[in-house]
A and B are shown apart, each in its own frame.
Chain A
Amino acid sequence: MNLAIRDILYHKWRFIQTSFGLGLLVAVVMSMGGIYRGLIADATVALKSTGADLWVVQEDTEGPFAAASRLPEDTEYRIAEVPGIAQASGLSFQNMQIMRFGKPLRFFLVGYKLNGLGGPPLIIAGRDINQKHYEMVVDKTMKMRLGETIRLGLNDYTVVGITKGMNSVSGDPYAYVSLADAQDIQFKEDNNAIRNNRDRIADKISKVGSLSPAQIAQFIPLVTDIAGSTHIVNAVAAKLAPGANIKEIQETIHRWNHYRAISTAEQEKILTSGMIQKSKMQLALFRSILLIISAVIITLIIYTMTMEKLRVIATLKLIGSPNRVVAGLVLQQSLLIGLIAYAIGYIIISLTYDKFPRRVELVTFDLLALFVIVMVICVLSSLLGVRKAMGIDSSHALGG
């Protein structure tokens, strides 16, 4: 017969209420852990889903996700020629915000070559993009329907496929279009802007005294064309051939092509230790504070419960109960409260994690670690109650 369980069963509603309150706290701690893991997952999802080994970006920049980088589109052909590179694809990334049904819709737009790297890794509804223009695939969290059309830049795009689990480091869902479309959306200007640009360039060139009027007339369309080019990418993702030495390839690209080639591991480090470092620290601090609060609450609950049982404990001691029976009563109740609270917390978070606006990723290791932490907190929290119980004089059982 377990006294702790009997007490809990006798006061079950009070225990359930107490444990539910604690369970909510544990659920918040779990969600913080899930958000932390979600941040890392969001930060690295594009890296992992692309399957690239190298990210070639503008010299002295930190890559397409952490800093701005612009490269000519034809860079991919030069990178593809580097010995040891099996495949190279230009990619374009941009944050976008449009109005949809009167509400702002933010997303992270990826442009990719249809047979290249960096497209949607998984299609859960519809199909992948198979036309070069005006089709898009969106993450399911954008809540768009197949066949829905939205205007991006100068053109309308139709949703042909839905993907899932693709969010940027800032939590915005991914949308995919072809690279050509992404370049148009990002760089192509409307006719008025093109006219203004052409006039500005013509004005500048006509002021060059060494050029004849015939040369000026030839230069203007050429320069306008170059200035208005949309053939720009933000990065080139590359896959290595089997057995290739990544360090040598990085060095070659740096020396001969004057670009920075960042390995996926380096890119991951840039993203996780740089971009989300403060968020990670904030979450860790918040979790620690919540765990301390939980410990204080459990301590107070156990202490109060022990105080309520002073006469029971004194009686048990008087009739000859060994200290372990008395200490066990207090400790087991503390552990049971922790266990029930953890179970309630787990149920709450399991039912709600996918309703969070940002990704919450529940990792088994984290959940087990939290379970151990909660149990350790329960043991430590019970020490005050155990001390009180041990100090109760058995003569306290006597009298009216």
Chain B
Amino acid sequence: MYAIQAENLTKIYGKGHTEVTALADATLTVSPGELAAVIGPSGSGKTTMLTTIGLINEPTRGRVIIDGVTVANDGWVPGIDMKRIRREKLGFIFQAYNLIPFLTATENVMVSLGLTGIRGKEARLRAAELLDKLLLGRVKNSHPSELSGGEAQRVAIARALANRPKVILADEPTAALDTANGKNVMELLKKLAMENNSAIMVVTHDSRMIEGFDRIYEIHDGHLTREPEYQK
């Protein structure tokens, strides 16, 4: 069973003469423990692909299956609690980290845990454990404004992993980092994908960062133009 399965995924914005096809018949699969990258220039449809797979943008056509649950089939499947699937099965990593500025590193991770009912002491312990694992023990009580870019992104990774999601979606996770920090973050993602058996899908425009990925998809004007590339 694939962790992510998208079939003929199409997203069209606007209607009539203002119609824009942001994603056209995209088909991809990512298995548990696999690292997939979608690369392409700005405006190619990378983020649209991420948001439709991430249950943020309703696809116009096509099918999306997350961890065996069909969530979209020519539009959302009625009766599916998208927010619940997002909090239980998906983890998100953002280009600008998107940490909550008024919470400490530990509390940022605890927010994610709280959404699945893990609160209080247990949440604090689990968050601290995760941060230690990501070598962030020293800054666990710091606010995002006190963290370096690399530290902030590692906290964001900890938050994304907190609920042990089946799928992690990362939107340009290294765009705000220098090359060394960017490579560190990618290495960390690979390691965690292996450990947690999570499928990781990264959209990026920087092909230097995808070394060692299992599958690489290239996207241009909404079309996946390159067949999956198996690097392993």
Residues on A facing B (Cβ under 8 Å): 1, 3, 6-7, 9-11, 311-312, 315-322, 325, 393-395, 397-400
A6-B107, A400-B172 given; A315·B100 CB < 8 A: yes
Contact A6 B103, beta carbon cutoff 8 Å: yes
Contact B107 A399, beta carbon cutoff 8 Å: no
Contact A398 B47, beta carbon cutoff 8 Å: yes
B83 cross-chain contacts in A, Cβ below 8 A: 317, 320-322
Give chain A's interface secondary structure class. Answer: helix
Contact A312 B47, beta carbon cutoff 8 Å: no
Bound CA span A311–B100, Å: 9
Bound CA span A320–B66, Å: 15
Contact A319 B115, beta carbon cutoff 8 Å: yes
Bound CA span A312–B143, Å: 14
Known A1-B103, A394-B56; further 16 A-B contacts with Cβ < 8 A: A9-B102, A10-B101, A315-B94, A315-B100, A317-B83, A318-B54, A318-B92, A319-B92, A320-B83, A321-B83, A321-B115, A322-B83, A395-B51, A398-B95, A399-B95, A399-B171
Pull 18 A–B residue pairs with CB atoms less than 8 Å apart, ordered by A: A1-B110, A1-B111, A9-B102, A312-B101, A315-B98, A316-B100, A317-B83, A318-B54, A318-B92, A319-B87, A319-B92, A320-B83, A320-B88, A321-B83, A322-B115, A395-B51, A397-B92, A398-B94
Say yes or no: is B175 at the interface (Cβ < 8 Å to chain A). yes
Q: Which chain A residue has the least Cβ–Cβ distance from B156?
A: A315
Distance in angstroms from A389 CB to nearest chain B CB is: 14
Report B107-139 CB contacts with A as 1/0, cut-off 8 Å.
100111011000100010000000000000000
Query: How many B residues touch the partner, as a band?
Result: 35 or more
Residues on B facing A (Cβ under 8 Å): 47, 50-51, 54, 56-57, 83-88, 90, 92, 94-96, 98, 100-103, 107, 110-112, 114-115, 119, 123, 143, 159, 171-172, 175-176
Partner of B102 from A10, A316, A325, A400 at Cβ < 8 Å: A10
Distance in angstroms from A220 CB to nearest chain B CB is: 94
A400 cross-chain contacts in B, Cβ below 8 A: 95-96, 172, 175-176
Bound CA span A277–B47, Å: 67
List of 5 A-B pairs having minimum Cβ-Cβ separation, nearest first: A320-B87, A10-B102, A320-B86, A315-B98, A7-B102
Bound CA span A325–B115, Å: 9
Q: Which chain A residue has the least Cβ–Cβ distance from B103?
A: A6
Bound CA span A393–B51, Å: 12
Partner of B94 from A9, A320, A397 at Cβ < 8 Å: A397
Bound CA span A68–B172, Å: 87
Bound CA span A395–B86, Å: 13
Contact A1 B94, beta carbon cutoff 8 Å: no
A325 cross-chain contacts in B, Cβ below 8 A: 115
Distance in angstroms from A310 CB to nearest chain B CB is: 11
B176 cross-chain contacts in A, Cβ below 8 A: 400
Bound CA span A260–B22, Å: 92
Q: Which chain B residue has the least Cβ–Cβ distance from A320?
A: B87
A6-B102, A321-B83, A398-B171 given; A316·B96 CB < 8 A: no
Q: Which chain A residue has the least Cβ–Cβ distance from B119?
A: A1
Distance in angstroms from A228 CB to nearest chain B CB is: 83
Contact A316 B47, beta carbon cutoff 8 Å: no
Contact A395 B57, beta carbon cutoff 8 Å: yes
A319 cross-chain contacts in B, Cβ below 8 A: 86-87, 92, 111-112, 115, 159
Bound CA span A44–B56, Å: 67
A395 cross-chain contacts in B, Cβ below 8 A: 51, 56-57
Contact B51 A312, beta carbon cutoff 8 Å: no
Distance in angstroms from B144 CB to nearest chain A CB is: 10
Which of A315, A319, A325 has its CB near the most chain B CB atoms (within 10 A)?
A319
Distance in angstroms from A337 CB to nearest chain B CB is: 15
A3 cross-chain contacts in B, Cβ below 8 A: 100, 102-103, 111
A318 cross-chain contacts in B, Cβ below 8 A: 54, 56, 86, 92
Bound CA span A294–B202, Å: 48
B56 cross-chain contacts in A, Cβ below 8 A: 318, 393-395, 398
Q: Which chain A residue has the least Cβ–Cβ distance from B87?
A: A320
A394 cross-chain contacts in B, Cβ below 8 A: 56
Distance in angstroms from B5 CB to nearest chain A CB is: 21
Which of A11, A316, A320 has its CB near the most chain B CB atoms (within 10 A)?
A320
Distance in angstroms from B141 CB to nearest chain A CB is: 13
Contact A397 B143, beta carbon cutoff 8 Å: no
Bound CA span A393–B47, Å: 15
A1-B110, A316-B111, A319-B92 given; A398·B51 CB < 8 A: yes
Contact A399 B96, beta carbon cutoff 8 Å: yes
Bound CA span A325–B47, Å: 26
Bound CA span A325–B114, Å: 11
Contact A311 B98, beta carbon cutoff 8 Å: yes
Bound CA span A320–B121, Å: 22
B85 cross-chain contacts in A, Cβ below 8 A: 320
Bound CA span A317–B176, Å: 23
Bound CA span A372–B23, Å: 53
Bound CA span A168–B171, Å: 74
B102 cross-chain contacts in A, Cβ below 8 A: 3, 6-7, 9-11
A399 cross-chain contacts in B, Cβ below 8 A: 47, 95-96, 171
Q: Which chain A residue has the least Cβ–Cβ distance from B98?
A: A315
Distance in angstroms from B158 CB to nearest chain A CB is: 13
Bound CA span A6–B51, Å: 29
Distance in angstroms from B200 CB to nearest chain A CB is: 16
Distance in angstroms from A395 CB to nearest chain B CB is: 5
B90 cross-chain contacts in A, Cβ below 8 A: 320
Bound CA span A6–B104, Å: 9
Contact B114 A1, beta carbon cutoff 8 Å: yes
Bound CA span A7–B159, Å: 19
A397 cross-chain contacts in B, Cβ below 8 A: 92, 94, 98
